[in-house]
Amino acid sequence: MPRTVTPLAMAVLLVVTGAAVPAVTARPVETATPDGTDARSNGSANGSAGERLHGAIGAQEAEVDGEIRTRRFGIRTARAASDDAKAAVVAEELEGVEHRLDALEERKQRLQQARDAGVIGPGRYRAEMATIAVETGTARSLVNASAAAAEGLPTDVRERRGLDATTIGAVSERANELAGLPTVQRGGTTDGATDWTGNRTATPRTDGTSTAGHGPASLRDRTV
């Protein structure tokens, strides 16, 4: 049976192999890119091999962690013994997402400040931002799953836990803004159905840009 080499294993193998033959490149070789610039300059701009590997590993670990979180939430809601218990799980998850968004926003701000101050280079910045992008994607997935779970609950149960479209949409908007997605009007759709999240399909940006504002009152401001 053939053995499959994972991308992570290949990356580690390349690093190890490269470290084992330093004598082959005894001195730098000046090579020009098609636009006439020094290839070494481009390599510095894109980050070192170590920075790129660090970014790839960080993003992969964040993706695995996100998958675990999402599956765990699905199991907890499926095993809830009552509608009220299920609502409690959803409310707890959404509040946890808010705390993670707080941490991600702070990390993103610190990275931007460090980049602007020249403390870290563009390669390190992009590597760290790639991990933040994956974690933000997990937050968006959990909000979507929470919205789907809440939508199936009786109205009175949702009201007791503060699980309305505006509240859930506020958390979703924060995640979308952190991902660099445009905001949209929430509260309804063209067919009259409730718009629980206001989510859009787009590729999260990792260049540090974002829209402003956090939307309506968050879950931490609700009355349970």
Tens digit of each residue's pLDDT (9 = 90 or more) over 12-71: 334 434 444 344 444 444 444 444 444 444 445 556 777 777 778 888 999 999 999 999
Q: Would the pLDDT of 184 be above 60?
A: no
Domain limits, the chain = 51-217
Q: Give the pTM.
A: 0.64
Q: Which residues contact 156 (CB under 8 A, 6 or more apart)?
A: none
Of the two residues 11 and 49, the one the predictor is more confident about is 49
Please tell me the total number of residues recorded for the chain in this structure: 224
Is the model more confident about 40 or about 72?
Answer: 72
Q: Based on the number of CB atoms within 10 Å of its own CB, is 205 exposed (0-12), middle (13-18) or buried (19 or more)? A: middle
Among 83-92, 141-150, 179-188, 215-224, name the one with the lowest average pLDDT: 215-224
